[in-house]
Amino acid sequence: MSKADFKSPEYYFNRELSLLKFHERVLAQAKDENTPLLERLRFLCISSTNLDEFFEIRVAGMKHKAALASLQTEADGLTPQQCLEQISVEAHKLVAEQYQVLNEELIPALNREKVRFLPRQKWDQKKSSWIKRIFTNEIRPVLSPLGLDPAHPFPRVSNKSLNFIISLDGKDAFGRDTRIAIVQAPRSLSRLIQLPESLSYRTTSFVFLSSVIHAHIDDLFPGMKVTGCYQFRVTRDSDLFVDNEEIDDLMGAIKGEISARRLGDTTRLEVADNCPEEISDFLLQEFKLGTDDLYQVNGPVNLNRLVESFRLIDNPELFYKPFNSSLPRRLQKTTDIMEVIRNGDILLHHPFETFAPVVELIRQAAHDPDVKAIKQTLYRTGADSPLVNALVEAARRGKEVTIVVELRARFDEEENIKLASRLQEAGAHVVYGVVGYKTHAKMLLIVRREGRKYRRYVHLGTGNYHTETSRVYTDMGLLSCDAVLAEDVHRLFIQLTGLGRATRLKKILQSPFTLHKSLLQMIQNEIDIAEQGRPARIIAKMNSLVEPSVIEMLYRASCAGVTIDLIVRGACCLRPGVAGVSENITVRSIVGRFLEHTRIYYFYDDGNEKVFGASADWMQRNLFKRVETCFPIEETSLKKHVINDGLMVYLSDNTQAWLLQESGSYKKLKPGSQKPRCAQAILLEQLSAKI
């Protein structure tokens, strides 16, 4: 066994910087010429949205720690201030690359495909006249220019809103010598305006709202001279704070926090790259930010608004080819899903296989007079989804419907409040889990009378009960009526809805009680086997790997000779390939058409392969501060499917896989002389229905 100090900071990457590396990999998809052109634009938008959330949550939290002069460090040893300094360097590089990709690669390529985003210098007289009418009739009436003087202080600028700062000369109607004004663009205005066919000349052409306002800014200040007009946007702290010790109404507390979110502490200022230094300094001072927080951009300050163009562009060649999710073979033979489940477990592999059986199961349960109760956890679902419609119908038909709604699903809080209210109005029992612990588990329990006994049907998943994201996220779900598994799910719901001590579960591992301890024990078991000279292997697929004690155990396993393959989409704090520490560990990230979201844990166990699906990543919050489930896949054919199609196909990917290096950089694998293998494309070919 190595004598290395496995707790040494040199063996750990910083979580925030590792997360930025993931955002870089997403942006790399926007540069990949093998990706359809508008999908490349979509990846650019996703990278922008990801970075917004990074500043809203991760940077905001780090700034709070730095403001307290905290010297507390994570496993990597960086203080909050040191972390912020490195984030600034890397984030500035990333933003510069985003706009370079937009301006130098995507816009020219789109022009060649007759999709055009027209700058002001490309407006001819006819276009200018049409745009002038749009501004006069549809835009100017909702704009409210605000001059800054003692009676008009700097306005409260909402999170991520589009704004303009204008410099002026002259005096207004009241003789005021106002030099600075602010114009805020209401969110109701589309950030992209499509030109009519008569002006597009056989192209699909757009102009930016920011360009239209800029071109006509003089109209808002009659009699004065506009000497400068510069767009800007601020990002604010958007993490909700709910004091678990003080609240007596969780929904009310969250409603209050949601309304305050738009005006949280600022974390970033974006301005046009031609904005003079004195103007940007004025804004930095107003928002209490430093120069490291300033991002000068060559284009629209919110790249994500470019997605508005997708629904207006009619060219299928510029998008991914459509596909139809398939139905597992056993479900094709009958419409009675519960009958199929009684004959054996069913595994659903999304998006290649459809999520529809889960919705249909609830719909059938709602109409089945023998079904007496339905219990479900909902994290991100949507108040108007067909799944919720089925639950509402079940409640209205007199079923005992109990729903655990996690109100604190970040950025879905408002939707979840609507969801909870709708279910309550239908007569369902709605609870909000356990204060202080997010309910992140994905569980469904249906209780049905069959003869003199009750049989329970369960669904356990790695992803959310969201019909739309099931088309773009990879996830797995297990449908079963195994009595022991169902009893475990029943006990979990009792924990969430009632009171009492946690009871022992026989098959399911759960956070915050048994999952972390069990993971360490299973890793230790592989260590013991390897030390006896027998083959030992661990494969795990997840979104993030951060928790230090799990990483330390993986280091110990590597030193004992255990082969460890990790498929970690996002942040990974483990440093692979270090001699004497982690030379038996590989870490890869798959970034492709679908968001890799499946959590799978595999332990060779001396040939008695153990395979689990889970809702939890290997992070502190998932293992200690959330209610999570980790469920075994036991049926032989299903276990084989999970190993082959959930893990091995990804380990063979040489087109969309990025290998984490000892240095912390990621290297994209290339086929070279090998046959190209893309895991997602292979699964689409093998599992999805043919069109």
Contacts of 482 (CB under 8 A, 6+ apart): 345, 458, 507, 634
Rounded CA-CA distance 22/658 in Å is 10
Rounded CA-CA distance 252/258 in Å is 10
| 376 CB-side CA count, 13 A | 30
Answer for the pair 334, 328: CB distance below 8 angstroms, yes or no.
no
Catalytic residue set:
440
Rounded CA-CA distance 425/391 in Å is 12
How many C-beta atoms lie closer than 10 Å to residue 608's C-beta?
A: 7
Answer for the pair 489, 438: CB distance below 8 angstroms, yes or no.
no
DSSP code for 675: P
Answer for the pair 555, 581: CB distance below 8 angstroms, yes or no.
yes
User: What burial letters (b/e) apply to 84-116, b meaning 16+ CB within 10 Å?
Assistant: beebbeebeebbebbbebbeebbbeebeeeebb
Contacts of 604 (CB under 8 A, 6+ apart): 526, 529, 535, 536, 537, 538
In whole angstroms, how far apart are CA 361 and each of 318, 444, 487, 590? 36, 10, 19, 32
Answer for the pair 555, 6: CB distance below 8 angstroms, yes or no.
yes
Name which of 197, 195, 92, 193 is nearest 139 in CA terms.
193
Name which of 154, 277, 138, 257 is nearest 194 in CA terms.
138
Cis check for the bond before 512: say yes or no (omega within 30 of 0): yes
Amino acid identity of 29? Answer: Q
Inter-axis angle of helices 80-100 and 37-53, nearest 10: 160
Length of the chain (residues)? 691
Rounded CA-CA distance 13/577 in Å is 13
Rounded CA-CA distance 29/70 in Å is 37
Long-range pairs for 337-344: beta carbons < 8 A, 24 or more residues apart: 337/361, 337/364, 337/479, 338/364, 338/365, 338/368, 338/446, 338/448, 338/457, 338/481, 341/457, 341/479, 341/480, 341/481, 342/455, 342/481, 344/635
Answer for the pair 56, 235: CB distance below 8 angstroms, yes or no.
yes
Q: End-to-end CA distance of the chain: give it in Å, rounded.
A: 55
Amino acid identity of 185? Answer: A
Contacts of 555 (CB under 8 A, 6+ apart): 2, 4, 6, 11, 574, 581, 582, 585
Where is 680: in which H helix or E strand? helix 679-687
Where is 612: in which H helix or E strand? strand 610-614
